[in-house]
Amino acid sequence: MTLADQWNAVERGLDPRWGEAQLALAVDDETHVERATALLAPAGPGRSGNGIRFAATRGGAGIGPEAVRRLLRRLDEEGISGTLELVSVESAVHEDVPARTTLAAAWDAARAQLPEDWSDLLCEVELTSSDHLERGALLLGPVNPLRAPGMLGFRFRVAHSFGYGTAPGMARRCLARLDEEGIPGRVRVLRALSDTHPVGTQGPVWTIGGKAV
């Protein structure tokens, strides 16, 4: 398992209230430790033998979870392998926080509110951090995401059975991919049409802010 994938697994297992996660990376090849430490420099790592300690934080000083993912991908790209472990975790808040609804579950709930004859949707997924925009765009690639102006997120179209837009199942799968990588956000249906029958076109067009979408 790559180091980035190991971080994904660690992040998925964290309590929703986590604020700082102390991590330890044991590098397999001691000759790679110096290079690994250099690549992790933005995280302010500490080194002991073939071990490297650093932290991921949310909502404060330090580097966020997406930045940690990018740094570890750099190690993966250079063929540096090892074992990443969670040493300790501190909560960001002390009061009870309800479990976060996954994007896939939110999508299911939104679809359940639609009429049975819906044919075309204009949807929006809003992310909670700019750290996630680059990775989010990649994971949402199959739905042809477009940056939504004035917010940290993307808009995309869904077609029930034909016309312009991704299939409902593909939209759900892409949202589930965000969930799997611990990228939080919210999804909503902005516009919905029912029982459309395009003739010689790919389907209906909405105009928002003077632009066709």
Q: What is the pLDDT of residues 140-162, one digit of tens each?
A: 999 999 988 788 899 999 998 77
The pLDDT of residue 9: 92
Q: With contact defined as beta carbons under 8 Å apart, do 37 and 45 qualify?
A: yes
Q: Is the domain of 155 the same as that of 69?
A: no
No. of H helices and E strands in the chain? 6, 10
In a domain, 51, yes or no: yes
The whole-number pLDDT of residue 60 equals 60
Same domain (yes/no): 199, 112: yes
Which of 91, 121, 156 is where one domain is finished? 91
Are residues 72 and 132 both part of a single domain?
no
Rounded mean pLDDT, 55-75: 85
Cα–Cα distance measured from residue 91 to residue 86, given in angstroms and rounded to the nearest whole number: 14
Residue 96 has pLDDT above 50, yes or no: no
Domain carrying residue 17: 3-91
Domain identity same for 87 and 107: no
CATH of the domain at 159: 3.30.70
